[in-house]
A = this chain, B = another copy of it.
Amino acid sequence: MENHELRQPVQKRAIEKKNRIIECGFKLMCEKGYHNVDCIEIAKVSDVATGTIYQYFKDKRDIFLQGLQKEASGKLFPILEFKDKKITKDTLYSTIDKIITVSIKKHTMSQIAHEEIMAMQHSDSDVAKIFEKYELEATNVVVELFEKNGLKLENAYEKAHLIIIWIDDLCHEIVYHKHDNINYDKMKELVINSIINLLK
């Protein structure tokens, strides 16, 4: 009944083990939905014993939370990678295009995660907090990105936020490709032009 402290892994192998649990566990949860994955599966896929999970994590939710912290920035907000990119007017279209291409690559996983996370925000304020933190960070990065490149940006935060959302949604549409009557290349073109328009 004693309240065991969570162990902080120090040995290299132990650290690897913890990371594997976060990676595999968070991936599974994002792919299948939090409630559709059980701890036995996480343990199996992570190649650890079920008991080991509870040495590093308080509970199942803790895996998700730590996964969110660790994996989310790269996967949920790939735009962060473009932090230090140089942009000119001539390269604007192609840069946005590139951002979209990278985002799509990350997206297959991230969109489900995204929705799962959105849904979880309401029952779990910790999830909400972490997600907002990254969202804010991404907005800031975009603002800085365009400032650094000398782009005049009235209402910079509003625009940055919209850009992030629009790219994210576009990726979602392209990745899921649900509607046969929609030309997704054309849609991408429309989005890029709308973004450029926003930046004028």
Contact = CB atoms under 8 A, between A and B. Distances in A.
Interface in A159-178: 159, 161-162, 165-166, 169, 173, 178
A119 B33 contact: yes
B2 A135 contact: no
Contacts of A165: 169, 173
A132 B179 contact: yes
29 contacts: A1-B35, A2-B37, A2-B41, A31-B122, A32-B123, A33-B120, A33-B122, A33-B123, A34-B35, A35-B35, A36-B123, A115-B118, A115-B119, A115-B121, A118-B118, A132-B178, A132-B179, A135-B178, A155-B183, A157-B179, A157-B183, A158-B183, A161-B173, A161-B179, A162-B187, A162-B194, A166-B169, A169-B169, A194-B197
Give 9 nearest A-B pairs by CB, closest first.
A119-B119, A115-B118, A115-B119, A158-B187, A35-B35, A1-B36, A33-B123, A2-B41, A112-B122
Interface of A: 1-2, 4, 31-38, 40-41, 111-112, 115-116, 118-123, 132, 135-136, 139, 155, 157-159, 161-162, 165-166, 169, 173, 178-179, 181-184, 186-187, 190-191, 194, 197-198
